[in-house]
Amino acid sequence: MGSWLNGGVWMMIMTMTMVIALVQAENPYRFFDWRVTYGNINPSGSSPQKGILINGQFPGPEIYSVTNDNLIINVHNDLDEPFLLSWNGVQLRKNSYQDGVYGTTCPIPPGKNYTYAIQVKDQIGSFFYFPSLGLHKAAGGYGSLRILSRPRIPVPFPEPAGDFTFLIGDWYSNHDHKTLKALLDRGHRLPMPDTVLINGNGVSFTSSLTVQKGKTYRFRISNVGLQQTLNFKILGHQMKLVEVEGTHTVQSMYTSLDIHVGQSYSVLVTMDQPEKDYSIVVATRFSETELLTGSTLHYSNATKKASNIISERPRDQLDFSLKQARSIRTNLTASGPRPNPQGSYHYGLIKIDRTLILDSSAALVNKKQRYAINDVSFVPADTPLKLADYFKIGDVFKAGSIPDKPTRGGMRLDTAVMDANHRAFVEIVFQNREKILQSYHLDGYSFWVVGMDKGKWSQASRREYNLRDAVTRSTTQVYPESWTAVYVALDNVGMWNLRSEFWARQYLGQQFYLRVYSPVQSLRDEYLLPKNALLCGRASNKHRLIISP
Ligand SMILES: *[C@@H]1O[C@H](CO)[C@@H](O)[C@H](O)[C@H]1NC(C)=O
Ligand SMILES: *[C@@H]1O[C@H](CO)[C@@H](O)[C@H](O)[C@H]1NC(C)=O
Ligand SMILES: *[C@@H]1O[C@H](CO)[C@@H](O)[C@H](O)[C@H]1NC(C)=O
């Protein structure tokens, strides 16, 4: 039994798991049939380009689901190259096979299809899906994924009059994804993106939302971009933060929110201003030049136009953003996906089994630009790592090929995999010595963001941790020349990608796989390889193993 839970809590979780297992059969299925194609898009209004569409749409269709739903998504790849979708923030319990990243899932070859079977188990909140291979993300192929609370599970705010999705992200209008990938493959850095898109549109004030005075609306905002932090605001209006990547937050008011790459937020906005049009402004932060796009918030019978977009960067972006980040906390008494309060799990009292200090770096290796974590720059092997593990194919990767702490021995390339024990409780410190803002994501989990500050982390930094009401989420920023610390309970067996969400850095090596491992192979801890799994590389001619439960 894990050392991080006392017997009572563990029994409670076991009991809940059994109850959930009994009702499993009743969890509804939702079916999706998606065709992925290239199509003409012109998000900047002035440079038509080839985008990745799903069922003809950019952004792709929105997935609505309810906690514990089973989503069966048949993805037909009509592109001229292999394709995979991944599910940002969906925890895929016991099921890393469906994660849709290089290390877990064989790419869908052109002209072929693969049916993902994923369960949005024990989750609520706002997430998104995106194409994970190469630089596909720079061509679209993303969409939002909502997990609503089950009926009868209390939501800590009244039902809003409307629920809007804002997929925002930086965008290259003048380079297609193949050109961007070729630049990186040749060892170059990417130029600054050209613009910012709001739901696939980069032409300011050509999109609008109609609202009614006096009503309250929910806005779900995800940064689906490639590198830039984006600040979101609605002029004249305050936003009440209610949810961060599946956690109901303390409901504080903000005039603007910094949303880092890969992150999702939900806010409530009450239309309490004089009836006219207002600008919704999305602008880059922590960038040398500012990119900005606006949309219009239209009060239903307003005749007055919106005032011009105002962009005011705070004088000290870092201090502003850090202060805001620290103010975002969990509402301990609100329910999450279950009726019991989110605060009933006392993460601050659990013994830490292991500390990882992950230090990012950038360097030239063989005259080519590379990025690394703890001096190891990730390179893919010829076979997905999870399949190599499943079929016990040796030599694909070596567990332990990335150290727990920085070595400062110079950068090397490797198929970086870190072993971790199932049910270990781990502290991860992201140390950023660089002058750029980092954003890190861990698949399969959400973690408590217990602390962040400027400078270098030391043992004494632990005194600043929030061990009471930190938010759990799956993506965290690390400010320039700063650190961020998270706690994570490794309760989900599988091969899980830990990566920079700065996509060029991810592509050039700033990622690794966390192999959460249980020596007893049991269906209680991990599912079998799906029957329809595509096989590739050295797993091409293998057959599924049979493990008795
Ligand atoms: C491809 O789609 C067909 C239905 O169109 C389905 O029966 C089959 O299982 C899918 N293939 C995979 C590998 O999921
Ligand atoms: C926290 O959630 C509870 C329960 O839904 C709610 O009554 C309370 O207003 C919330 N508190 C804050 C500060 O958001
Ligand atoms: C605006 O529209 C609402 C109905 O949506 C109506 O009740 C109200 O009188 C209108 N206000 C003005 C100023 O026309």
CATH of the domain at 394: 2.60.40.420
Q: For ligand 1, atom 12, which residue shows the shortest CA distance?
A: 114
Report the chain's mean pLDDT, rounded to a whole number: 93
* Span from the CA of 515 to the centroid of ligand 1 (angstroms): 29
User: In this structure, are 401 and 489 located in the same domain?
Assistant: yes
- Claim: this prediction has a pTM higher than 0.85: yes
Nearest to 107 by CA among 543, 546, 536, 540: 536
Tell me: pLDDT of 354 over 50.
yes
Q: Please report the pLDDT score of residue 313 as a whole number.
A: 83
With respect to residue 477, please indicate whether it lies within any of the assigned structural domains.
yes
Cα–Cα distances (Å) from 460 to 274, 394, 456, 464, 465, in that order, read 50, 42, 11, 8, 10
With respect to residue 458, please indicate whether it lies within any of the assigned structural domains.
yes
Q: Which helix (H) or strand (E) holds 177?
A: helix 177-185
Tell me: pLDDT of 441 over 80.
yes
Residues contacting ligand 1 via CB (< 6 Å) = 74, 113-115, 532, 534
Tell me: pLDDT of 547 over 90.
no
User: In this structure, are 252 and 123 located in the same domain?
Assistant: no
Buried b (16+ CB within 10 A) or exposed e, 533-542: bbbbebbeeb
Q: Please report the pLDDT score of residue 304 as a whole number.
A: 79
User: In this structure, are 168 and 139 located in the same domain?
Assistant: no
User: In this structure, are 142 and 170 located in the same domain?
Assistant: no
**Residue 210, ligand 3, Cβ within 6 A:** no
**Residue 300, ligand 3, Cβ within 6 A:** yes
pLDDT in tens, 166-215: 999 999 999 999 999 999 999 999 999 999 999 999 999 899 999 999 99
User: In this structure, are 174 and 216 located in the same domain?
Assistant: yes
Q: For ligand 1, atom 7, which residue shows the shortest CA distance?
A: 115
Q: Please report the pLDDT score of residue 418 as a whole number.
A: 98
With respect to residue 248, please indicate whether it lies within any of the assigned structural domains.
yes
Q: For ligand 3, atom 6, which residue shows the shortest CA distance?
A: 301
User: In this structure, are 191 and 279 located in the same domain?
Assistant: yes
Residue pair 93/443 in contact (Cβ under 8 Å)? The answer is: no
User: In this structure, are 409 and 524 located in the same domain?
Assistant: yes
Domains in the chain, number: 3
Residues contacting ligand 2 via CB (< 6 Å) = 156, 250-251, 331, 333-334
Rounded Cα distance between 117 and 363, Å, is 39
Nearest ligand 2 atom to alpha carbon 251: 14
Q: For ligand 3, atom 9, which residue shows the shortest CA distance?
A: 301
User: For residue 275, which ligand has an atom nearest its CA?
Assistant: 3
User: In this structure, are 104 and 40 located in the same domain?
Assistant: yes
Write out the residue range of the structural domain in which residue 199 sits: 162-317
* Span from the CA of 249 to the centroid of ligand 2 (angstroms): 9
